[in-house]
Chains A and B, each alone.
Chain A
């Protein structure tokens, strides 16, 4: 497929990282369910271990099937490479632990997935990594929160669940002014809606469980490096620019000018913490990636119809979607996310907890569960589930109230989704008048 320009998104989604299998001619990506790979000789073994040759040793470190997923997502994001992990949380942890340690500091958006907030606010604090949270739109807040020990700025392309749009160009520029990288969780948008590297992000990760997989079958994550951040020029990352005792004094930034981060992450974080992805999981996620653009188009088209329906409904107090001019980030979304903002969004139901319960329990097409990005439509009450560990102040900062309902719009017929919501809203109304 050589040519004067890179192939388009759909071609890369099908071909990047894999050709016909040279051993069998298999056209689909084979699943290499093997823990280990035979060495050709003692010298070959030693060379693989010492990174003198490229290849696979042990599937915790790399695997042929998983590598296809890594290379494909890297191509779709416009990155230099990627590492697949056991979950999105593992990808976030791998990114942080590669760059930060005890005594380090992170500046993060306050509008995060509850699990990410928990990791930063509680768990990493126990290991000496402190986080300052700022509202994603508070540009002065991002700048003011940076300290000499800061190692990373972190946010979500669109915050969960309020869809606060991260101003990646501006926050990225602030990060770079201070010699820091910007890490972005692009789970809710996928590379089809936005490629954060094109706007100034340095690292991107996905919970591949969501849109990349798209079928609600497996848990996985992918961490992608743009290769653009100059770790040596920053001077803040001796982990990448000084000899590493854990690998015979390797200086990762000298070994690979643009691949230093991923080399260290694979040879330290993935090796030692061990949160790798199964090749079977990688294969299932690859099936999803191959149809990503087709699914995303339908997700977005359905979401737009549902947003319009809910925005006009008398039982709905607020719909938090950047498609609507009432959303505070409407203009930013038009600029950064021209294809659409997400098919995951929240709305506030009029009434109390009883109305919320009646609404969720009356739904028949929507499934009440803790996930998003499935091909099936999903619903959840964040305050009592995904974000239940947050206190009221943190919930307020994340834009969540007790009446907030989060929807993940799937690929069903839009009319059926609207009928289901309409029926559930009537049930909520009745519950309020009972």
Chain B
């Protein structure tokens, strides 16, 4: 469904069901160069199991009008505006990679009204190598291939996502290329470089963590080369977060879809406090 947020169209996937705001709300925040569809094997299930699911496309990513916000903080502001537009007062936030930083900021801002925080593949600080940043400017398609290769633990994750027969590498590459092309075609420039700069420049993680009032869970990939488990240790300590390590790379939602779903379901029970 679409909302008018900050004067622009915002697309929110609701798990294949109409949004029921009387149910506990779960907000899924995708990462750099992604859209809502990376959460397909978590959102659809939870929407059909008594949760109000909101998985927005961040501005400039997919179906939400661009340009992409300039910072993690701006993304969090936008996300809370989406919740206002949807009539959601309390929500748990689940974010992946760049989206984990946005979820962190959003949960901090929502204070007592945040019912849970799940960070997948987080890192703080989320520093991006100069090589990748310069490649993203000069050769964004090459940078996509680099990140795509770094994001997966192998080429044989089962049962694949969103269904058997899909190549996780191929899906991710196609999605990144589509988003890169559509952002540029809309006159908003190089999305890859933008998103990775947003990650690189975020400096408010520990301050945000201090303001978070809900319980936190970190799900990290044992083979993650983008945000290795140790890269989130300081943030985990600041949040007093429970840490769950799964046998996967950075693309946790596709590589271990059931592991991620089960962890979210267990950590944020149906009747969240």
A→B interface (CB under 8 Å): 1-7, 12, 15-19, 22, 47, 50-56, 62-64, 66-67, 70-71, 74-75, 78-84, 226-228, 230, 232-233, 248-250, 254-259, 262-263, 266
Could you tell me if B155 and A255 are in contact, using CB atoms closer than 8 angstroms?
A: no
- A sample of 5 more A-B contacts (CB under 8 A), given A22-B158, A51-B44, A266-B165, is A19-B154, A54-B41, A64-B164, A83-B165, A256-B40
Instruction: Please report the C-alpha to C-alpha distance between residue A80 and residue B175 in the assembled complex, in whole angstroms.
Output: 9
Instruction: Please report the C-alpha to C-alpha distance between residue A406 and residue B61 in the assembled complex, in whole angstroms.
Output: 50
Could you tell me if B170 and A78 are in contact, using CB atoms closer than 8 angstroms?
A: yes
Could you tell me if A74 and B37 are in contact, using CB atoms closer than 8 angstroms?
A: no
Given A47-B45, A258-B178, decide whether A81 and B167 contact each other with a Cβ distance below 8 A.
Answer: yes
Q: From residue A241, how far is it (CB to closest CB) to chain B in Å?
A: 11
Asked if B62 is an interface residue, CB under 8 A from chain A, the answer is yes
Interface string of B144-166 (1 = CB under 8 A from A): 01101110111110111111111
**Which of A75, A84, A226 contacts B169, CB < 8 Å?**
A75
Could you tell me if B154 and A55 are in contact, using CB atoms closer than 8 angstroms?
A: no
Q: From residue A199, how far is it (CB to closest CB) to chain B in Å?
A: 15
Instruction: Please report the C-alpha to C-alpha distance between residue A75 and residue B157 in the assembled complex, in whole angstroms.
Output: 13
Give me 19 A-to-B residue pairs in the complex whose CB atoms sit less than 8 angstroms apart, sorted by A's number. Answer: A2-B154, A5-B145, A6-B145, A19-B156, A53-B45, A62-B164, A74-B166, A75-B170, A80-B170, A81-B165, A82-B165, A83-B165, A228-B177, A230-B182, A249-B16, A250-B16, A255-B16, A259-B171, A263-B162
Instruction: Please report the C-alpha to C-alpha distance between residue A256 and residue B162 in the assembled complex, in whole angstroms.
Output: 8
Contacts of A79 in B (CB 8 A): 167, 170, 174
**Which of A51, A228, A248, A263 contacts B178, CB < 8 Å?**
A228
Contacts of A2 in B (CB 8 A): 149-150, 152-154, 223, 225, 249
- How many chain B residues sit at the interface, stated as a range, is 35 or more
Given A4-B150, A17-B155, A259-B162, decide whether A50 and B44 contact each other with a Cβ distance below 8 A.
Answer: yes
Given A3-B149, A79-B167, A79-B170, decide whether A67 and B160 contact each other with a Cβ distance below 8 A.
Answer: yes
Instruction: Please report the C-alpha to C-alpha distance between residue A49 and residue B171 in the assembled complex, in whole angstroms.
Output: 22
Instruction: Please report the C-alpha to C-alpha distance between residue A227 and residue B261 in the assembled complex, in whole angstroms.
Output: 25
Could you tell me if A16 and B155 are in contact, using CB atoms closer than 8 angstroms?
A: yes
Contacts of A18 in B (CB 8 A): 156
Asked if B258 is an interface residue, CB under 8 A from chain A, the answer is yes
Could you tell me if B174 and A226 are in contact, using CB atoms closer than 8 angstroms?
A: yes
**Which of B40, B167, B182, B249 contacts A71, CB < 8 Å?**
B167
**Which of B48, B153, B167, B175 contacts A74, CB < 8 Å?**
B167
Could you tell me if A6 and B162 are in contact, using CB atoms closer than 8 angstroms?
A: no
Could you tell me if B170 and A263 are in contact, using CB atoms closer than 8 angstroms?
A: no
Given A5-B149, A70-B164, decide whether A15 and B156 contact each other with a Cβ distance below 8 A.
Answer: yes
Given A4-B149, A227-B171, decide whether A54 and B163 contact each other with a Cβ distance below 8 A.
Answer: yes
Instruction: Please report the C-alpha to C-alpha distance between residue A5 and residue B35 in the assembled complex, in whole angstroms.
Output: 23
Q: Which 4 residue pairs spanning A and B have beta carbons closest together?
A: A227-B174, A81-B166, A52-B45, A70-B165
Asked if B257 is an interface residue, CB under 8 A from chain A, the answer is yes
Contacts of B124 in A (CB 8 A): none
Could you tell me if A259 and B166 are in contact, using CB atoms closer than 8 angstroms?
A: yes
Could you tell me if A54 and B160 are in contact, using CB atoms closer than 8 angstroms?
A: yes
Instruction: Please report the C-alpha to C-alpha distance between residue A191 and residue B267 in the assembled complex, in whole angstroms.
Output: 45
Instruction: Please report the C-alpha to C-alpha distance between residue A312 and residue B42 in the assembled complex, in whole angstroms.
Output: 64
Interface string of B56-74 (1 = CB under 8 A from A): 0000001100000000000
Asked if B13 is an interface residue, CB under 8 A from chain A, the answer is yes
Given A52-B48, A80-B174, decide whether A255 and B166 contact each other with a Cβ distance below 8 A.
Answer: no
Given A16-B155, A53-B257, A226-B174, decide whether A80 and B167 contact each other with a Cβ distance below 8 A.
Answer: yes
Could you tell me if A54 and B145 are in contact, using CB atoms closer than 8 angstroms?
A: no
Q: Would you list which residues of chain B between 1 and 45 have a CB under 8 Å from chain A?
A: 13, 16, 35, 37, 40-41, 44-45
Instruction: Please report the C-alpha to C-alpha distance between residue A338 and residue B218 in the assembled complex, in whole angstroms.
Output: 49
Contacts of B223 in A (CB 8 A): 2
Q: From residue B43, how far is it (CB to closest CB) to chain A in Å?
A: 9
Instruction: Please report the C-alpha to C-alpha distance between residue A158 and residue B4 in the assembled complex, in whole angstroms.
Output: 49
Q: Would you list which residues of chain B between 178 and 204 have a CB under 8 Å from chain A?
A: 178, 182
Q: From residue B254, how far is it (CB to closest CB) to chain A in Å?
A: 9
Could you tell me if A262 and B166 are in contact, using CB atoms closer than 8 angstroms?
A: yes
Interface string of B194-229 (1 = CB under 8 A from A): 000000000000000000000000000001010000
A233's closest neighbor in chain B, by CB?
A: B182
Q: From residue B46, how far is it (CB to closest CB) to chain A in Å?
A: 8
Interface string of B231-273 (1 = CB under 8 A from A): 0000000000000000001000000011001000000000000
- Do most interface residues of chain A lie in helix, strand or loop, or is the interface mixed? loop
B155's closest neighbor in chain A, by CB?
A: A16
Q: From residue A374, how far is it (CB to closest CB) to chain B in Å?
A: 27
Q: From residue B160, how far is it (CB to closest CB) to chain A in Å?
A: 6
**Which of A4, A55, A227 contacts B164, CB < 8 Å?**
A55
Q: From residue B192, how far is it (CB to closest CB) to chain A in Å?
A: 16
A3's closest neighbor in chain B, by CB?
A: B149
Instruction: Please report the C-alpha to C-alpha distance between residue A1 and residue B153 in the assembled complex, in whole angstroms.
Output: 7
Instruction: Please report the C-alpha to C-alpha distance between residue A233 and residue B186 in the assembled complex, in whole angstroms.
Output: 12
Instruction: Please report the C-alpha to C-alpha distance between residue A84 and residue B165 in the assembled complex, in whole angstroms.
Output: 8
User: Which of A51, A63, A70 has the largest count of B CB atoms less than 10 A from its CB?
Assistant: A51
B250's closest neighbor in chain A, by CB?
A: A2
B131's closest neighbor in chain A, by CB?
A: A4
Q: From residue B11, how far is it (CB to closest CB) to chain A in Å?
A: 8
Could you tell me if A54 and B161 are in contact, using CB atoms closer than 8 angstroms?
A: yes
Contacts of B48 in A (CB 8 A): 47, 50, 52
Contacts of B178 in A (CB 8 A): 227-228, 230, 257-258
Instruction: Please report the C-alpha to C-alpha distance between residue A6 and residue B144 in the assembled complex, in whole angstroms.
Output: 11
Could you tell me if B37 and A256 are in contact, using CB atoms closer than 8 angstroms?
A: yes
Instruction: Please report the C-alpha to C-alpha distance between residue A5 and residue B223 in the assembled complex, in whole angstroms.
Output: 16
Could you tell me if A258 and B167 are in contact, using CB atoms closer than 8 angstroms?
A: no
Instruction: Please report the C-alpha to C-alpha distance between residue A434 and residue B225 in the assembled complex, in whole angstroms.
Output: 75
Q: From residue A35, how far is it (CB to closest CB) to chain B in Å?
A: 15
Q: From residue A67, how far is it (CB to closest CB) to chain B in Å?
A: 4
Instruction: Please report the C-alpha to C-alpha distance between residue A5 and residue B225 in the assembled complex, in whole angstroms.
Output: 13
Could you tell me if A15 and B163 are in contact, using CB atoms closer than 8 angstroms?
A: no
Contacts of B258 in A (CB 8 A): 53
Contacts of B41 in A (CB 8 A): 52-54
Contacts of A258 in B (CB 8 A): 37, 171, 174-175, 178
Contacts of B173 in A (CB 8 A): 78, 80, 227
Q: From residue A102, how far is it (CB to closest CB) to chain B in Å?
A: 28
Instruction: Please report the C-alpha to C-alpha distance between residue A254 and residue B165 in the assembled complex, in whole angstroms.
Output: 19
Instruction: Please report the C-alpha to C-alpha distance between residue A218 and residue B129 in the assembled complex, in whole angstroms.
Output: 49
